Chains A and B, each alone.
Chain A
Amino acid sequence: DAKTTQPNSMESNEEEPVHLPCNHSTISGTDYIHWYRQLPSQGPEYVIHGLTSNVNNRMASLAIAEDRKSSTLILHRATLRDAAVYYCILRVYYGQNFVFGPGTRLSVLP
């Protein structure tokens, strides 16, 4: 699996937008970009995924660079509940294995 690079930690104020970056310069044409997050004392939960186009769902938006070598997870209004470790993962559609990197620990300040 191709590797991703994320900042170790980020901080945000409550009710402000958060942009979490991910670099994946060795991404292949068949790799989907996935984002999961792990709240304290819980298992990871799915946030969003995409291939080439930007994606939106009720939790977040995913902005994918035109060359696909980077992406950004956007939380439109951070809440205290969004404090978690966010993982950016590349995965071939029909492949089954996720490789979790260290992720970005997001702190949300009241």
Chain B
Amino acid sequence: SAVISQKPSRDICQRGTSLTIQCQVDSQVTMMFWYRQQPGQSLTLIATANQGSEATYESGFVIDKFPISRPNLTFSTLTVSNMSPEDSSIYLCSVSGVTSQNIQYFGAGTRLSVL
């Protein structure tokens, strides 16, 4: 398995500001992903974080709003830019390629509230 640390675990932010969420894994992994879980909803994939190249975004998510970095095989960041109350969600980091490409491991998530 993998131990995934996300920081911060929660934050309350003002409208128009940006927040950067960090994801640290205790071992090198092939794939890293970022998900959003809106209140009472299921998970939606935002993007795949690619090491050494630009992230691959899913439909409905754009780089200007959710810039992602992945400088190495154990670390990634997701920035939520120019926040509005609609961005209030839980943001989750996940990884695969630890024991198998077929299993994903998830962090505990970052609970974001935008006022």
Contact = CB atoms under 8 A, between A and B. Distances in A.
Interface in A15-35: 32, 34
Interface stretch (A38-46, A59-67, A68-76): A38-46
A96 B33 CA distance: 9
Contact of B106 (A45, A94, A101): A45
Interface in A52-110: 87, 91, 93-94, 96-103
Contacts of B31: 96
Nearest to B103: A46
Contacts of B63: none
Contacts of B108: 41-43
B107 to A, nearest CB: 5
B104 interface: yes
Interface residues of A, number: 22
Which of B33, B96, B104 neighbours the largest number of chain A CB atoms within 10 Å of its CB?
B104
Interface of B is mostly: strand
Interface of B: 4, 31, 33, 35, 42-45, 48, 58, 92, 94, 96, 101-109
Contact of A94 (B44, B45, B101, B103): B101
B96 A96 contact: yes
Which of B44, B96, B109 neighbours the largest number of chain A CB atoms within 10 Å of its CB?
B109
A96 B107 contact: no
Contacts of B4: 43
B42 A32 contact: no
Given A41-B108, A102-B42, 17 more contacts: A32-B102, A36-B104, A43-B92, A43-B94, A43-B107, A44-B43, A44-B92, A44-B94, A44-B104, A49-B102, A93-B101, A94-B101, A96-B31, A96-B96, A96-B101, A97-B45, A100-B35
